[in-house]
Structure 1
Amino acid sequence: MSVETEFTPPPWINDKFLETAFQSGEDNNLIVRCKYIKPATASGDNYLSQMYRVHVQITRRGKQEDKSIIVKTVPFTEAMLKITSNGQMFVKEMTMYRDVLPAMHRALEKVSPGTCERFGAEYIYSITDSDKPVIVLEDLKKLGFTMAERLNGLDMDHCLLVLRSLARFHAISLALREENPNMFQKFSTTIFCEEMRSDLETFFTVNIAKLAQEVENWAGYERFATKLHKLSENAMGIWINSVAMNEGDFNVLSHGDLWLNNIMFRYSEETGKVEDVRFVDYQLCYWTSPTVDLLYFLNSSPEINISENYDAFLGDYHKTLGKTLTILGYGTLAPTLKQLTGELEKRGAFGAVAGVSVRVVVQVDRKNIPDMDKVLKEGQSVHFSNEYKEAMKKLLPFYEQRGWL
């Protein structure tokens, strides 16, 4: 039975709601009618929200226009709902889409007119002062953007495109903060803190401990069992300490959840090569070292045969970061490559935790999508796909070599 057959649209996404959404940003002399609603993501593609793709017909001054939008609201599961509520995630994301991302685009357009793409979907409407917050956005799929296949990970071209866009995102955030510090007041806290430890820790401990048991039966990998058991015991503390902002570091606005499923790509119709990128899910943005985003992405999302190219990736990121800061007039704020490398190595154990625990969700197969309520509340581990096991056989020796494990 197909997803569409089983799906029942939420009754509150109706003509009245949609008309209110569109009239909030335009004149009120328009009529909006809902044509149909579908789930916007497949199972396993998103855990911190429910997303719907809504096709509408807009009548304005006698002319009709069909449009596709994304309506995003809170998750169904109790554990994830508690996390999103306590972390003020929808308020943060609304602020990103409504205020911060447009300001970023304007800043780049000012210094380099007509050459800069946006970092995310355009904002249409939001409700954040209720027990069921909602954000309405343009549909990036209608602009040609799609998600990459996650089981095998991203190749070099995809990774470089992501890192260059991330460098521009980080650079512009720093420039905007210099000009208007109040813009980023909502991003001084993160869910990865001691107050939220009990809600989050099980995910890390259970899955890393399960991997420790698994490697005991892998010939030549038995030595990693003890190291992984220790990592399991310390994982949440490592994560909390690593994402914390240190005043002495080079700090920017981090995306906070930059894994493969929160990135969409557009491909050339002529060559089929990847040519553009957009980030989605700005719920975990937080002011901290850019190496948090770098380690999170580089350990969770690339193909395993390129995931250890840290020096090349970091060098390319650093070059784009410095160039963007210079164009914006803040070149003196750029860190040296040595400083950036030092901050990354200081958080190396965080990279190992991300590689072991986040990649298990990235590479889970469609037949074994985890129930996050059971993972977080009951300690149920995520199923290990063959792709994940192969990734660990490559990454564990690499983490050991770098002293991260």
Structure 2
Amino acid sequence: MTSPKHAIGTPDFYGVFTEDLIKSCLKADKGDQAILKSFEIKDFTNKGDNYMCAVTGVHVDYEFEGRDHKAKYVAKLNKPTNHDDTRLIVKDLYEQEKNFYTDIGPTLSRELKEVGHEPLRFARVPYVHSKDGVYVIFMEDLRERGFTMHDRRKGLDDAHVLLVIKEFARLHASSVLLQKRSKKPILESHPYLYDGFMQDELPYCTYRIIMGEIVGGTALVAEKTGGYDQVVRHVKEVFQPKCFAIIRDLLRSQPPFQVVTHGDCWTNNILFRYNESSIPEEVAMVDFQLSRGSSPMNDINYLFYSSTTGDSRRKNMSRYLRDYYSTFQKVILDAGFEMDFTFEEMEKEFDRQRYFGFYMGLVVCSVILREDGDGFPLDSLDNSNVQEVFNESGKKLATLSDNDTVLSRRILDIFDEMQEWGVV
């Protein structure tokens, strides 16, 4: 076999892509008769697209039954770190995502197919690897089916949002079907869906600091802008010191609002396929590292406040919720069951979880909208400098916002809505 090809500047940790690893993936995907001839690592993401893990392309040439073939995979792998808590959380995130792709995701798709609905739209995963602290997930390259990412600095418009909320409604409703058929709560039948951020004590203790410092940076943006004294005080006195407890309590849900959620539903984790007129026609979900058993309205709030503009939310929120509910309801009714909650009850749950949307919106927007891609500087962390690194990142956020109206406007829109809704 020829040596693997690596582009100039490829990170050293890409050395995990050995001949044996690629052979294992190829065998799992194509069968024992597939013979590896060569492979090439081809990066395709930009700085700021990924934070906890690295994502790259793996192009494979192989022989099968005497004929030459090609295969393309997207590989998600952990990056080396000197920070103990990051090493721990990445391991847990890998296990959570592996469990989704190999267990709960396919199970929920079967629930949908049994009632005449299409399976959930997420990438096929032929092989996962975990050994000696190295974690790799090989998944189909959805670009081969025409899927692509939306620009993360642009808020999702109507056409995009409607596709996404309907797919999330199908995800959530399918887990209700599973619970009704098994007569078991989802956290009992799949206990791994009770994740670290729902536990009494956060297993990654320094992430309390990180969560607080990130949202603290958004308060600096509001301070420089002026007119946000109350909301800045609230962030500093409530959000920063109590952020983990607030998020933990909102993630813990009770029936009927307890479903399998995506958990990290912002723009980059949702891919779209477009028609010839550049109109989105199909959506696919990726990145299930934070999938958990929680309220469906956590996903919806997270999506709205991380990936839409304030103007879009004000104009369309009610309609979006109606479309979500009707899609959810159709799945349940087609299975011969009754809905466990009314639209009005769902609206109340959405409003109860809006605080989660505010918080995650501030965190995600302050990270993903930065043009420098340095909003989540994990590569700079060791066990002694967490507060310093993220405090400096927050100060830089405030400086960047001076000349970046997209960044500042999205953050300030959330502060405006916090005030409108009486949060502060």
Return the TM-score normalized by structure 2: 0.86
- 1:138 maps to 140
Unpaired runs of 5+ in structure 1?
none
C-alpha displacement of 1:69? 0.3
Inter-CA distance 216–191: structure 2 relative to 1 (3 Å threshold): closer
2:266 counterpart of 1:259: yes
Q: In 2, are the aligned partners of 1:190 and 1:286 still within 8 Å (CA)?
A: no
C-alpha displacement of 1:49? 1.5
1:31, 1:265 → 2: CA distance? 33
- 2:179 maps to 177
- 2:322 maps to 315
1:50 is aligned, of 47, 54, 77, to 54
2:310, 2:144 → 1: CA distance? 31
Number of aligned positions between the proteins: 396
2:255, 2:133 → 1: CA distance? 38
1:185, 1:228 → 2: CA distance? 33
Q: Deviations over 1:297-348 (max 9, x none)?
A: 1111113321334322222111111111112333x24421122122222222
1:71, 1:219 → 2: CA distance? 44
AA aligned opposite 1:6: G
AA aligned opposite 1:83: I
SS of residue paired to 1:77? coil
AA aligned opposite 1:355: G
2:370 counterpart of 1:364: yes
SS of residue paired to 1:137? strand
2:247 counterpart of 1:243: no
Matches within 5 A, 1:24-35: 24-35=28-39
SS of residue paired to 1:305? helix
- 1:18 maps to 22
2:211, 2:24 → 1: CA distance? 42
AA aligned opposite 1:65: H
- 1:351 maps to 357
Inter-CA distance 20–218: structure 2 relative to 1 (3 Å threshold): closer
Q: Deviations over 1:268-324 (max 9, x none)?
A: 1x2110111111111111111111111111111113321334322222111111111
Q: In 1, are the aligned partners of 2:270 and 2:283 still within 8 Å (CA)?
A: yes
SS of residue paired to 2:8? helix
2:87, 2:44 → 1: CA distance? 19
Matches within 5 A, 1:187-336: 187-193=193-199, 194-196=201-203, 198-230=205-237, 231-245=239-253, 247-268=254-275, 270-308=276-314, 309-330=316-337, 332-336=338-342
AA aligned opposite 1:175: L
Q: Percent identity?
A: 24
- 1:404 maps to 423
Q: In 2, are the aligned partners of 1:153 and 1:304 still within 8 Å (CA)?
A: no
Q: Deviations over 1:85-120 (max 9, x none)?
A: 2xx22222112112322233333333326xx26421
Inter-CA distance 211–26: structure 2 relative to 1 (3 Å threshold): closer
C-alpha displacement of 1:203? 2.5
Q: In 2, are the aligned partners of 1:208 and 1:356 still within 8 Å (CA)?
A: yes
AA aligned opposite 1:150: R
2:141 counterpart of 1:147: no
Q: Deviations over 1:137-192 (max 9, x none)?
A: 11111111111101122111111111000000111122123334576232123335
- 2:3 maps to none
- 2:76 maps to 72
Matches within 5 A, 1:371-386: 371-374=377-380, 377-379=386-388, 380=390, 381-382=393-394, 383-384=396-397, 385=401, 386=404
Inter-CA distance 174–367: structure 2 relative to 1 (3 Å threshold): closer
C-alpha displacement of 1:255? 0.7
1:388 is aligned, of 397, 407, 419, to 407
SS of residue paired to 2:257? coil
AA aligned opposite 2:272: F
1:73, 1:389 → 2: CA distance? 32
2:131, 2:329 → 1: CA distance? 39
SS of residue paired to 1:391? helix
2:21, 2:189 → 1: CA distance? 29
Q: In 2, are the aligned partners of 1:91 and 1:128 still within 8 Å (CA)?
A: no
Q: In 1, are the aligned partners of 2:173 and 2:328 still within 8 Å (CA)?
A: yes
2:250, 2:226 → 1: CA distance? 32
1:271, 1:212 → 2: CA distance? 41
Q: In 1, are the aligned partners of 2:210 and 2:387 still within 8 Å (CA)?
A: no
Unpaired runs of 5+ in structure 2?
1-5
Inter-CA distance 374–29: structure 2 relative to 1 (3 Å threshold): closer
AA aligned opposite 1:121: A
Could you say what the CA RMSD is over the residues aligned between the two structures, in angstroms? 2.4
Q: Which range moved further: 136-145 or 22-31?
A: 22-31
AA aligned opposite 1:344: F
Q: In 2, are the aligned partners of 1:43 and 1:369 still within 8 Å (CA)?
A: no
SS of residue paired to 2:323? helix
SS of residue paired to 1:196? coil
Return the TM-score normalized by structure 1: 0.90
2:108 counterpart of 1:104: yes
2:156, 2:232 → 1: CA distance? 28
Q: Which range moved further: 272-281 or 184-193?
A: 184-193
Inter-CA distance 94–33: structure 2 relative to 1 (3 Å threshold): farther
